[in-house]
């Protein structure tokens, strides 16, 4: 593989696309302090938000000493709504003292020193070393990790492994701009889902490892005029927990048009401000359980819906925060956290009654002439292919014959499991028990689905599971809809 040629081609592509924000900061200043601060602020934040915040902050602060004069609350106001603005305000407040105490007020240029600064990890340290000091540094984010593996240039499982592999293999003279070029390429063409292989400038060099895309070169003329809506469902197992992990990175990297999440486990007054800040890009709808710290759903949609509801026409099922429904021109979209029947006979009965009432409700909506899309955690594996150990779980809630019978009934009423429509291979799961480290061994269950009425199936472009996305005991699932 001619990595130098690939590097040069991506360098030319870099000139033609929107420049990543930190490269813009670098273009405007040589000041290592400002490059460091801009890099810290950019983490888990959209570039356009970072650009606005950086401009506002640097209109008030020109150096570390001036930053030290601000209170933590003042810094919070200046940097809101970047992701994790409260934590970043603490880091920035502590930064001047650490610089003065450990580095004589100067920004260090070595990785081992940079990671001693508040809020600086290896990725940030490498980026600052490269951009602020123009010294060789291997900055690996999710774009660099993904694209380097797609190319077939390296074979690794984590960004840290990719950093080490690239340090060993990539010529050192290519290090400084490698991150900038691949981030711009990843944001514009080589996206996580449906990369634009049809117009890729390095198509012939790329091995396209594990790539699935609708944009194959031979299909481009047929596909390029189609507009699609990417809809993703994810049981996050606690919204306040997952925002400390990869939630904002996930949204930035995969850019869903609609995201439905289950098990938010919070009340309205507990919604993190960082999540509310997503309201600049999404209309956000919640359903809260009466019981605190339990259940809960939320739906994020870029397109404003015609209507929104948390009801399935029976109040008995509407106090556990399980239902979001938005209405669009062509279809109703449900985001549902179906009950778990494993806590006793009464909860199993509740689950089965919920199933029945839900089917009645969507059948009534179907009569209006609009299509039905139901995504979420169904809490039942349908067929033996949908869990690793079906024989061992025949008497376990989640695979009981009476639970599976309802999914059969759903199919009999003309609804289609979109993933199985496109994929018939085994060992495709969406949930793994934390207790037994089952995910490492892929001993899982497929209990998260997107079902649609069969009449809507021609509009489903693709269906997918995202098992590499961690942060919860479930992984995301989704579909692309032609609109």
pTM: predicted TM-score of the whole model, two decimal places: 0.63
CA of 29: how far to CAs of 36, 74, 93, 216, in Å? 11, 24, 22, 41
Q: pLDDT tens-digit profile of 73-89?
A: 999 999 998 878 888 99
Pairing of strands 323-327, 460-465: unpaired
How far is residue 42's CA from residue 38's CA, in Å, rounded to a whole number? Answer: 6
Could you please state the CATH topology (level 3) that the domain comprising 3-182 is classified under. Answer: Endonuclease III; domain 1 (1.10.340)
pLDDT, residue 25, reads 67
Instruction: Inform me whether the pLDDT recorded for 187 exceeds 60.
Output: yes
Q: pLDDT tens-digit profile of 111-145?
A: 999 999 999 988 889 989 988 898 999 999 889 99
What does the domain layout of the chain look like in residue ranges?
3-182, 227-482
Instruction: Inform me whether the pLDDT recorded for 249 exceeds 90.
Output: no
Region 102-115: mean pLDDT is 95
CA of 127: how far to CAs of 13, 37, 323, in Å? 20, 12, 43
Quick one: what percent of the chain has pLDDT higher than 70? Answer: 95
pLDDT, residue 220, reads 38
Helix (H) / strand (E) element for 304: namely none
Residue 383 DSSP SS3: coil
CA of 144: how far to CAs of 26, 51, 165, 187, 239, in Å? 19, 22, 12, 11, 27
Q: Say if 3-182 and 227-482 have the same CATH topology.
A: no
pLDDT, residue 42, reads 85
Region 102-112: mean pLDDT is 95
pLDDT, residue 383, reads 97
Instruction: Inform me whether the pLDDT recorded for 433 exceeds 90.
Output: yes
Instruction: Inform me whether the pLDDT recorded for 246 exceeds 80.
Output: yes
Cβ-defined contacts of 31-36 (< 8 Å, 24+): 31/63, 31/132, 32/106, 32/107, 32/109, 32/128, 32/132, 32/133, 33/63, 33/64, 33/107, 34/58, 35/128, 35/131, 35/132, 36/107, 36/117, 36/120, 36/124, 36/128, 36/132
Band of pLDDT at residue 471, cut at 50, 70 and 90: very high
Lowest mean pLDDT among 19-23, 177-181, 424-428, 429-433: 19-23
Question: For residue 92, which of 33, 30, 51 has the smallest C-alpha distance?
Answer: 33
Q: Point out the residues that are catalytic.
A: 377
Region 107-113: mean pLDDT is 95
Contact 448/477 with Cβ under 8 angstroms? Answer: yes
CATH code at 227-482: 3.60.10.10
Lowest mean pLDDT among 10-14, 281-285, 434-438: 434-438
Residue 348 DSSP SS3: helix
Helices (H), 255-377: 273-276, 345-366
């Amino acid at each position: 593989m001619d990595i130098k040629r690939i590097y040069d081609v991506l360098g030319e592509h870099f000139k033609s696309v929107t420049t990543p924000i930190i490269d813009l900061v670098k273009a405007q200043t040589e000041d290592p302090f400002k490059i460091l601060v801009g890099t810290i602020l950019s983490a888990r934040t959209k570039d356009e938000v970072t650009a606005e915040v950086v401009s506002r902050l640097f209109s008030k602060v020109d150096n570390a000493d001036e930053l030290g004069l601000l209170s933590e609350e003042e810094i919070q106001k200046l940097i809101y709504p970047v992701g994790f603005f409260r934590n970043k305000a603490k880091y920035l407040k502590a930064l001047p003292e650490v610089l003065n105490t450990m580095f004589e007020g100067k920004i260090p240029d070595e990785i081992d020193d940079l990671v001693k600064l508040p809020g600086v990890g290896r990725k940030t340290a490498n980026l600052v070393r490269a951009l602020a000091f123009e010294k060789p540094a291997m900055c690996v984010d999710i774009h660099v990790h993904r694209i380097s593996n797609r190319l077939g240039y390296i074979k690794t499982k984590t960004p840290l492994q990719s950093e080490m592999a690239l340090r060993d293999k990539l010529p050192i003279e290519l290090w400084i701009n490698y991150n900038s070029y691949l981030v711009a390429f990843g944001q514009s063409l080589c996206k996580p889902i449906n990369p634009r292989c049809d117009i890729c400038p390095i198509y012939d060099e790329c091995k396209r490892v594990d790539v699935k895309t609708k944009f194959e070169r031979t299909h481009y003329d047929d596909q390029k005029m189609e507009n699609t809506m990417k809809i993703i469902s994810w049981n996050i197992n606690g919204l306040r927990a997952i925002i400390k992990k990869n939630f904002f990175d996930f949204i930035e990297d995969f850019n869903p048009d609609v995201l439905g999440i289950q098990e938010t486990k919070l009340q309205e007054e507990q919604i993190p401000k960082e999540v509310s800040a997503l309201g600049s890009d999404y209309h956000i709808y919640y359903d809260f359980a009466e019981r605190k710290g339990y259940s809960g759903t939320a739906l994020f949609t870029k397109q404003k819906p015609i209507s929104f509801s948390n009801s399935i026409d029976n109040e008995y099922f509407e106090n556990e925060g399980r239902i979001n429904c938005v209405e669009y021109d062509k279809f109703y979209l449900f985001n549902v956290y179906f009950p778990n029947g494993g806590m006793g006979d009464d909860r199993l009965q509740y689950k089965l009654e919920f199933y029945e009432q839900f089917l009645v409700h969507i059948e009534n909506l179907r009569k209006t002439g609009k299509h039905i899309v139901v995504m979420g955690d169904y809490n039942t594996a349908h067929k033996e292919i949908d869990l690793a150990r079906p024989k061992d779980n025949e008497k376990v809630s989640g695979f009981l014959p009476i639970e599976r019978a309802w999914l059969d009934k759903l199919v009999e009423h003309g609804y289609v499991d979109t993933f199985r429509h496109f994929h018939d291979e085994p060992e495709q799961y969406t949930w793994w028990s934390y207790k037994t480290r089952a995910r490492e061994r892929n001993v899982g269950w497929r209990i998260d689905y997107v079902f649609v009425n069969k009449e809507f199936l021609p509009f489903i472009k693709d269906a997918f599971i995202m098992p590499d996305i961690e942060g919860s005991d479930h992984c995301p699932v989704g579909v692309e809809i032609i609109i």
